[in-house]
Amino acid sequence: DALIIYKLVRLSRDRGDSLTIRFLLKKLDIDLKSVTEPFDDSPIGTFTATLFSSIAQLDNDVRSAGAIMGMKQAIKAGRWLWNAPLGYKYKYTNQKSYLVPSDDADTIRKIFKDFIDGKKQYEICEEFKESGIIITRQHLNNILRNHLYIGKLKTKLFNYELMDGIHEHIIDDVTFYKAQNILSPDKNHYNIKYKDEFPLKRFLKCPDCDRFLAGSYSKGRHKRYAYYHCVTKGCSFKPVKRELAEELFFAYLDSFSIKEDIINNVFEKIRASLNDKEKDSINILKNIKKEITLLETKKAKIEELVIDGTFSKDTYHKKMNEVES
C-alpha cells in the first residue's frame, strides 16, 4: 500500500506533524510517495523528506509573521479587521476596509437607551422580536459590552488594551459606561483618573540644582500660561513654557525613532537572507540527488559484474554494503 501526494507540503506545513504522520504510515506499512519530490526510507531519503518539511514550515512561519505584523499595524492605525458588528458595515477605500455606521445604528442607540432607562435585557429582546428583529440575550449582552460602539478597539493582539479607532462612534462614552455599571455594578467602569496637565514633571530636572521641575500656571491679562519651573528657593533657572518644553521633549524622543528607510533595509536583508538559505537548501537537494544517482549507478554496475561472473557472491555483498553505508 502507498499514499501518493503531489508535494510534502500537501501533507502538512508543520515539520512535527509531518514527521508524526510519516511515522504512523511507516508503522502501518504504508509507503509515502511524492510526485515532485524524490525520497525513500533510506537515511538520505529521510533527511531529504525532513528538509522538504522544514522548508515548508519556514515558508508558513514567514507568511504568518508577516500577516500578524500587518494586522498589528492596521490596528495601531485604528482599523477594525474582523466582522462588522450590528450597527456597522464595511466601506472599502484604496483596498482597505473601514467601519462606518449602517442603517442598524439606530437599533444600537435604542438598545443602550432602553437598557439605561431600566428595561431588562429579556424585555428588550422581546420588544425587538415583536417588531421582527431577532436578537438573542447573549447577542444583546455582547452588544452592551462592545467598546467598538464608543470608537475603541480591544483585541487579543494587544492584550485587550483599549486603543482609539478611526471609525465613527455610535454611542457616547457616558451612555456606554452607564450601561457597564448596570451590567457589573461592583466594578468602576468609568476608570476616571486624574489628568496631569504637566506630565513632564517626572522627566525634567533643573540644570542648576538637579531637582525635578514642577508645573504651574501664570495668570495673564486674558488667559493663563503654563510653565515648568524649579521649586528650589533662590534658584536662577528661569521657567520654561509648557508648549516649548513638550516640543523639545517630543523632538528628543523622535531622535530615538527608527527611520522607515532603515526598517525597510532590515526587512530587505531578512528577505535576502531567507532567499540565500532557500538557494542553499536547493543546492543541497541537488547534491543529494547527484549522490543518489551516483550510488544507483554504482549498484547497477556491481549487479552487472555479478551477472557476468566478475564478482563472487561474497564480493557482491561486500561492495553493496560499501555503497549503502
pLDDT at 4 over 60: yes
Average pLDDT, the chain: 82
Residues contacting residue 289 through CB under 8 Å, at least 6 positions apart: 38
CATH superfamily name and code, 83-183: Putative Large Serine Recombinase; Chain B, Domain 2 (3.90.1750.20)
Overall average pLDDT of the 214-237 stretch: 83
Domain extent listing, the chain: 1-76, 83-183, 199-254, 258-325
Instruction: Report how far apart, in Å, the C-alpha atoms of 119 and of each of 126, 131, 171 are.
Output: 11, 17, 18
Rounded CA-CA distance 264/207 in Å is 39
Torsion of CA 242, 244, 249, 254, to 10 degrees: 140
Confidence of residue 162 (pLDDT cuts 50, 70, 90): confident
Confidence of residue 194 (pLDDT cuts 50, 70, 90): very low
Neighbours of 127 (CB within 10 A): 15
pLDDT for res 66: 78
The residues that bridge with 112 in the sheet, in sequence order, are: none
Overall average pLDDT of the 49-74 stretch: 77
Confidence of residue 22 (pLDDT cuts 50, 70, 90): confident
Q: What is the pTM of this model?
A: 0.45
pLDDT for res 210: 85
User: Percentage of residues in the chain with pLDDT exceeding 70?
Assistant: 90
Confidence of residue 126 (pLDDT cuts 50, 70, 90): very high
